Amino acid sequence: MTEVRVETEVLDAAGSRRIATSARATCPLGECGTGVEAAILQASETARRSLDRTPERDGWQISGMEVTFGLTPAAGGGGSPSPAAVPFEVQLTVERLPGMP
């Protein structure tokens, strides 16, 4: 069976990322899968809550949302990976409410 590996970034003692080729490592997906799952759930829930809290305005409403995000796991001091960065891209579809001029 092929092992799936995830690239991680090494954090320094202050929790900051070190940007260098030598600071990148990999870990088996099985070892960091829980952190990846948690990051996906948290990012998805954040997007859903944001949409739920967006009211209609001036006869317009959001009728759809597409969220794309990336995940960069970081290897902390103990070597166990945890999500470090989640850049978001959000696209909203806005439509006029029925009966509005």
* Residue 67, phi-psi category: left (phi > 0), alpha (psi -120 to 50), beta (remainder): beta
**Domain spans in the chain, listed from the N-terminal domain onward:** 5-96
93 C-beta neighbours (distance < 10 Å), count: 10
- pLDDT 10s digits, 54-90: 888 899 999 888 888 877 666 555 555 555 566 778 8
In this prediction, residues 13-26 reach a mean pLDDT of 62
Q: How far is CA 65 from the centre of its chain?
A: 15
Kindly report the average pLDDT of the chain as a whole number. Answer: 76
DSSP-derived secondary structure letter, 23:
G
* pTM recorded for the entire structure: 0.60
Q: Which residues pair with 77 in a beta bridge?
A: none
